[in-house]
Amino acid sequence: MSQTNEALDQLLAEATQWERRSLTQAQVLAQEALRRCQEEDYASGCVYAQRLLAGIALQEGRMDEAAQRLEEGLALARPLGDPAPISACLYTRGWLLYSQGALWEAIASYSEAATLRAGPGLETPRANTFNAMGIVYRELGDYDQSLACYSQARALFRQVKDVFGEGTTLNNLGLLEADWKSYTNALRYYHETLECALACGDLMLQTSAYYNIALAHILLDEPWHSVPFARHARRTARVLGNPSWRINARLLDGMVYCALRRFPRAERSLLWALQETRTLPDNQLELRVLNELGNLYLRWQRPHEARGHLERCLELAGAMQANLQLVTCHEYLVETMELLQDFERALYHHKEFHRMERQRFDSVTEKQRLMLRMSLDIERREREAARQRERNRELEELTRRDSMTGLYNHRAFQEFLRESLAREKPLALLFLDVDHFKDYNDTFGHPAGDEVLQRLARVLCESLHEGDIAARYGGEEFAVILTGASAKRAHACAAQLGQRIRETPFPHRRVTLSVGVALATKGITPDRLIAAADTALYQAKNAGRDRWARAA
């Protein structure tokens, strides 16, 4: 090989390394490599450059460009007789076909690539191919083949001590465990994946691990544990600059907020993700977003919206033979149709769900089949227990809420304040009191007074940041915990609340607030902080009301 060709190979290797960190930089290097390879008439280099540019185009949603570059690459590679560049193009073509939903065609392309990668020194690319085939077989519901592919991939990666490759396989094994409802085992695999990703410094694998850990906590009915991992996934996806991962991160946000029963926030994230999938022709991603929107609206008791998204998901999954999504869609549609009182359609989806579940179980080995059969009863009981926990949570939430305003009550406020102070992070406490409220009540009646309190509660909810806590402390007195707040933000919030109440129309006459502000200091107890805010409130009242004051 000439020195020129060696230099071009180094440039291509550099572009390949950048592919997992910055698609923009990888594309610049790959285009430069293609230009120089064409000038030097270096056919093998042209093949690798076209394959690399096709992979970048695929990740950015330019499917037609990806297909064209792969055809050009294969046309150049086949006459060379070298299996390495041919298999590289076939592998990427399998990825393209999978993204388009042509699952069996993807298997055929990957199988041809695996055959060409059977020689010595090709352990890593062959293992990558087995991993990719395992993903497609899993989507088809063929767990035997999927597990066999992952096992071969992991053995090959261990043979060559490829930490990144082993991490991707562990991640895939975790997904398989999740399909079998073994979420604790899945979580273990995902944490091992994260260790590998951090060891090799691969951002894409880190993003995938964070995403799946967050998802596993949701499935384990621990959504609060998923929040920091979802935040990490969002951050690393942003650094990657990969459109698919940005959509995945927003999809995950939607799932987390849905599990936390913050439905409006979940809806915004999922609708944004759905809109973005329309600009990125990745049918697999669109399927998942549609499925989660259906789940969201189902839990939100909005069955008409749930039906629309789930039926679109069902149509798309059927065309792609994406059996996993089909099973989930039928399961959600059973509950949706029951809510709509369309029991005939509910029965149809119920039958389809169980028919596909039986097919899924029949595709696994005898040992796995036994485990899955045993899990049927357990799963059914778990669902009942989950529903009971949900009802208990709702009842518990009701005991923490003030029935008139919908804000947290005095008991819940005390709990939140203790927990917030225990974190030893910046915190401000605001006490708010409606000026001359007794006179308002006596003059215009208790129903008018109740309306004042309800409108004030709405203003509080609309004015606060995510993570802040608003509570009715007692009577016409309210409390607000500003988490992570500086003195500047606490003062601005107190002033803003007073201004908004002055501008809010109330029946009969204008209403104003007095506000006391206290900042938490290190080691302060809840009682001392409450006393400080209460003292500041009375300073504001003594100074003429309709103002705020800060504790000394």
Tokens of 431: 């006490």
The answer to whether the CB of 546 falls within 8 A of the CB of 512 is: yes
Residues counted in the chain: 552
Average pLDDT of 118-125?
A: 82
CATH for 410-550, options being 3.30.70.270, 3.30.470.20, 3.40.50.1820, 3.40.50.2300 = 3.30.70.270
pLDDT beyond 60 at 200? yes
Catalytic positions: 476
Higher pLDDT, 440 or 9: 440
159-163, 201-205, 372-376, 457-461 — which is least confidently predicted?
372-376
pLDDT beyond 70 at 217? yes
pLDDT beyond 50 at 376? no
pLDDT beyond 50 at 475? yes
Q: How confident is the model at residue 129 (pLDDT cuts 50, 70, 90)?
A: very high
Residue 328 to residue 141: CA distance in whole angstroms: 12
For residue 196, give Cα distances in angstroms to 148, 351, 366.
22, 42, 32
Closest listed residue to residue 490, CA positions, set 520, 466, 462: 520
Mean pLDDT of the chain: 85
Residue 285 to residue 61: CA distance in whole angstroms: 11
Residue 99 to residue 40: CA distance in whole angstroms: 34
Q: How far is CA 545 from the centre of its chain?
A: 46
Residue 489 to residue 491: CA distance in whole angstroms: 5
pLDDT digits (tens, 9 = 90+) for 518-527: 999 888 999 9
pLDDT digits (tens, 9 = 90+) for 429-466: 999 999 999 999 889 998 899 999 999 999 998 888 88
Percentage of the chain beyond pLDDT 70 is: 93
What is the pLDDT at residue 500? 92
DSSP codes of every residue in 71-112: HHHHHHHGGGT-HHHHHHHHHHHHHHHHHTT-HHHHHHHHHH
Q: How confident is the model at residue 374 (pLDDT cuts 50, 70, 90)?
A: very low
User: pTM for the full model?
Assistant: 0.52
State phi, psi for 466 to the nearest 5 degrees: -60, 135
Average pLDDT of 381-387?
A: 61
Residue with tokens 């979802």: 230
What is the pLDDT at residue 58? 85
Query: How would you classify residue 65: left for phi > 0, otherwise alpha for psi between -120 and 50, otherwise beta?
Result: alpha
Tokens of 258: 């849905």
Segments in 182-262 forming alpha helices (H): 183-200, 203-219, 223-240, 243-259
Listed by start position, the domains of the chain span: 410-550
pLDDT digits (tens, 9 = 90+) for 283-339: 678 888 898 999 899 889 999 998 999 888 888 888 877 777 788 888 888 888 988
Residue with tokens 């308002």: 440
pLDDT digits (tens, 9 = 90+) for 535-548: 999 999 999 999 99
End-to-end CA distance of the chain: 79
State phi, psi for 303 to the nearest 5 degrees: -65, -30
Higher pLDDT, 382 or 432: 432
Residue with tokens 């500086």: 486
Higher pLDDT, 113 or 358: 113
What is the pLDDT at residue 542? 92
pLDDT beyond 70 at 127? yes
pLDDT beyond 50 at 8? yes
For residue 496, give Cα distances in angstroms to 242, 514, 536, 546.
39, 12, 17, 12
